[in-house]
Amino acid sequence: MKALLALEDGTVFPARSFTGPGEAGGEGVFNTSMCGYQEVLTDPSYKGQLVTMTYPLIGNYGVNDEDIESNRIQVEAFLVKEYLPFPSNFRSQMTLADYLKNSEILGLEGIDTRALTRHLRNFGAMRVAASTEILEPAALVERARSLPTMLGQGLVDAVTTSQPYRWIEDKPQPFGLDQGNNPWDPTRSSYKVVVFDYGVKYNILRCLESRGCQVLVVPARTSAQAVLDLKPDGLLLSNGPGDPAANPEVVRTVQNLLEALPIFGICLGHQIMGLALGGKTFKLKFGHRGANQPVKYLRNGRVEITSQNHGFAVDLDSLKDPQVELTHINLNDQTLEGMEHKRLPLFSVQYHPEASPGPHDAAYLFDHFLSLMERERKG
């Protein structure tokens, strides 16, 4: 089926839909990973975005019920060079096309993804519109220009859980805090971790559970007092979509918890922590999205290959607190990738240590979080 992709600057790309009729709009971005498209599709950090995969052949291993990062597809549309309709993998349970169709997500192929990626690198991520209905270029360009920009968009409320849930045996288990129930198993001495859900990826929860933690996920707008009433050993600030500065209430909540307990921030959680510590954030030209971003750990000089998905960053020069130590730097553009407080048990990273598939160079960060909780327990 014929389709068209239009960018706000007037650039258009002919395409074909492999999911039937549909329309979509949002910010156009690209991901450089060679595999892991199911993780990409279900990552809540992609809310509001049309994602282009730079690897040319997509769909060859199908999809399954296990490799998901949330309870639904999050991207607005999926853009590829060539879709393979006949997957070959023993774990495959469904074709990618059927997976997208079931969620009414538009999938386009036949796009010159090299040219599109180069254009976004040269001119920056921008608003785009895709359609099988509007095939007149000027009209679809106007549709793209009518969309809101990502700058200033607070999308956390669109992806956060509506109710708390526990993560038990690799599955979410609903839990009603309003009933005054104790979410923690008193027979276990394991660390109790509350996760602020700004768009959390399931693999973050898997990494915590695999280390013996009891995990309770709460909505993004849960109050600081409600968290303290739970008496957790630690707090994790999750990844998520949109402009971090568009969530002032979330930032104030974290500010009220900075001196209360160990905190680990990932991606948007890192940016929220940066804002809570008095810093500022800014929008990157085209963001970091892929599984091959080099990051230098400043304490030992080691270079980690990391998985990333973000379009904003914490401004290095805005962190004036001398107690905040910069720990990680992106070697491609020298942006901030990690920080830690010298006095308080707080640290965060811009990249994704839980990535799967992806490099495992940063898995030690979860162990570091456990060590901070252990230190606080011992006083």
CB atoms within 10 A of CB 326: 14
Ranges assigned E (strand) in the chain: 2-7, 12-17, 23-31, 49-53, 57-58, 77-79, 82-83, 106-109, 126-131, 165-168, 171-174, 192-197, 214-219, 234-237, 263-266, 281-297, 303-314, 324-330, 336-341, 346-349
CA distance 364 to 362: 5
Which positions are catalytic?
Answer: 267, 352, 354
b/e code 289-305 from CB counts within 10 Å (16+ = b): bbbebebbbeeeeeebe
CA distance 353 to 327: 15
CA distance 19 to 22: 8
Tell me which DSSP letter residue 239 carries: P
**What's at 195, amino acid-wise?**
V
Longest dimension (CA), the chain: 67
Q: What is the per-residue DSSP string for 330-353? A: ETTT--EEEEEESSSSEEEESSBT
Contact 369, 264 (CB under 8 A): yes
CA distance 205 to 168: 9
User: What would the two tokens of residue 152 be?
Assistant: 């200033």
Q: What is the per-residue DSSP string for 146-180? A: TSPPSTT---HHHHS-SS-EEEETTEEEE--GGGT
Q: What is the per-residue DSSP string for 186-232? A: TT--SPEEEEEESS--HHHHHHHHHTT-EEEEEETT--HHHHHHT--
Place of tokens 């060590």: 371
Q: Which residue from 109, 105, 108, 35 is spatially nearest to 67, judged by alpha carbons?
A: 35
